[in-house]
Structure 1
Amino acid sequence: MSQSFTPADVAAHNSPDKGMYIIVDTAVYDVTKFVDEHPGGAKILKRVAGKDASKQFWKYHNESVLKKYAPKLKIGDVKEAAKL
């Protein structure tokens, strides 16, 4: 079962010791263990950890990358904040 995260939940996971989560579109990915495998280098993932990385992701990747890595890295989705 997929977990639901708030943007604040994701923001708390912004370093290797806390775990590194990113958001692409509405999906949340745990890239903590992938950081050393990332072809573009660890620095890029560390820079976007805890943030919505959709803009940066789509600039350099296509949908086939998500299909390849999502089963291993996707941990949930961002739930919408309550509207007051």
Structure 2
Amino acid sequence: MTRKKVKLAYITSNSASKATYKNRMKGLTKKMSEKSTLCRVHTCAIMYSPYKSQPKVWPSPMGVQQVLSKLEMINMLFDKKNE
């Protein structure tokens, strides 16, 4: 069974745009949670919204900080290895 082809267009209605944004962010966080569980990796997301001044972080600010610090350590190890 194939999906219907979606016609891409800019959403002009502000309320529809907010609802679509909210649903997509909910879907994105669900997918990241599933990938994290299935692949046994640490994941994080920093999502900027056109509707809020503060970014939304997933899973938590502390969790994001831990993932980013691990990434920095890995980058430092690769830099030392390539010297």
TM-score by length of 2: 0.28
Asked which structure has the greater CA Rg, the reply is 2
Greater strand share, 1 or 2?
1
| Structure of higher RCO (CA pairs closer than 8 Å, 6+ residues apart) | 1
What is the TM-score when the length of structure 1 is the normalising length? 0.28
